[in-house]
Amino acid sequence: MEIKKLTDYLWEIPQSGGMRVPGRIYASADLLREGKLDESLNQVKNVAHLPGILKYSLAMPDIHWGYGFPIGGIAAIDASAGVISPGGVGYDINCGVRLVRSNLVIEDAMPRLRSLVTHLFKRIPAGVGSEGAIRKLKREEVSAVVAKGARWAIEQGYGSATDLEYMEEYGCLPGADPDAISDRAYARGAHQVGTLGSGNHFLEIDAVAEIFDEPAAGAFGLFQDQICVMIHSGSRGFGYQICDDYLHVMEKAMRNYDLHLPDRQLACAPLGSPEATAYFGAMYGAANFAWANRQVMMHLAEQAFLESLAISPAQLGFRLVYDVCHNIGKFEEHVIDGQPRRVCMHRKGATRAFAPGHPLVPPAYRSVGQPVIIPGDMGTNSYVLVGTAAAMEQTFGSSCHGAGRVMSRHQALKEAGGRDLCGEMAERGIIVMSTGKRTLAEERPEAYKDVTRVVDVMHHAGVSRKVAKLRPLGVVKG
């Protein structure tokens, strides 16, 4: 495959064949070389065939092979003449991450760290098929979650209305349609609100290890040695079922609308068609479910801290910094070739990174830009970045979302052998609790790229700027 170097951190796959636009990959030379990217780069090319795609098929430095789109893939599709592809959103709709800050510092937490992790592990169900954080919901209650998102959780007593100000889309995408969701999805979601799940999802106690940008860190309420909590989860089986249901719908739509693409996993439907409208209604519902899910877990995490440390809410000072989506499709306005265009943004394994002054950045952060939260893999550092004007110009206001796998889960499990991963983490000063050894083996650090190198690409390319580094102290896994 021909790949042209544009800068030290940007590479291009020239437009050829049925590609409507070039492909562009943000990466350093070593990440491009080491990443085993053959299949995912082919997916970048395939995405460039989508009707209505504008400017580029983009990939972030955490790119790896996914369903249809690569994970780390981004496409802006013309809202009046394009398509929506569930493969560009993913199975875990609105898999995302939220960062919570506190008034505590390392010295406050370390004497009770194991108790803290244990309380979190008991409070927040984790693992495949996990359930029971709150009671099983009735069908009409899940419909209310679909319609209201995080606001539903707040109305039930999980958190404060001020939390909504610090979530992408204020924790709810309007236009969710409860009637566009299958009975099977409702059955799967009824007992999963407030659950972490498995795979790469986690809840983590972190400490702020380094500040790179004092003004932005100050705006976000972050300071050196501060205790924070990071929650990484999504829409669970509810969103998975919705994606699976609509992939079948889209495969039929491809035939009905005589659409031809190089990969059937890119199955899509024209924007405005009945199939696309129904998918948006269901997908937005799954996104809202995910916001409610993370909102409930944040409240449960706060309760675990209060119980374990025997302190007051005022002493703890739990406050949401921000909540961002990683897997989403939604309409936004971007300036393209000097003209404002309404586009359908596909971000799969990518984070919104809006610049200072953008009206969708919370007022408290508008002078510095939107927080961009980049979780590491198990036992490694995480980062807080901030969106820039360059992101608006180059990546449709988008950045990377994490480290990115370099090893399949099967390979990671096989190569882990009989290693005591909890023991290895403990030797590094990190307490890990998990429902099973399999997930620990699949998610061990060697299975991922170095998140620092990934973040540095975004920073040096000017797409998102480093604000703070967080190091893990305690981790809850599925």
Pairing status of strand 327-336 against strand 339-348: antiparallel
Pairing status of strand 464-477 against strand 431-434: parallel
Q: What whole-number distance in Å separates Cα of residue 356 and Cα of residue 437?
A: 43
Q: 348 is written with which tokens? A: 């799969």
Instruction: Give CA angle at 136 (131, 137), nearest 5°.
Output: 130
Q: Which residues contact 337 (CB under 8 A, 6 or more apart)?
A: none
133 touches 296 (CB < 8 A): yes
Question: Which of 470, 258, 474 is CA-nearest to residue 376?
Answer: 470
74 touches 395 (CB < 8 A): yes
Q: 234 is written with which tokens? A: 């999504």
45 touches 57 (CB < 8 A): yes
Q: What whole-number distance in Å separates Cα of residue 410 and Cα of residue 80?
A: 42
CA 377, 380, 385, 390 dihedral sign is: negative
29 touches 19 (CB < 8 A): no
Type of residue at 34: E
3-state secondary structure of 180: helix
Instruction: Give CA angle at 35 (29, 40), nearest 5°.
Output: 110
Q: What whole-number distance in Å separates Cα of residue 65 and Cα of residue 345?
A: 20
Type of residue at 39: E
Given 119, 201, 401, 459, which residue is catalytic?
401
In the annotation, is 401 catalytic?
A: yes
Q: Give the single-character DSSP code of 420.
A: -
405 touches 448 (CB < 8 A): yes
The shares of helix, strand and coil residues in the chain, as percent rounded to the nearest 5, are: 40, 25, 35
Q: What whole-number distance in Å separates Cα of residue 305 and Cα of residue 398?
A: 33
28 touches 61 (CB < 8 A): yes
Active site residues: 401
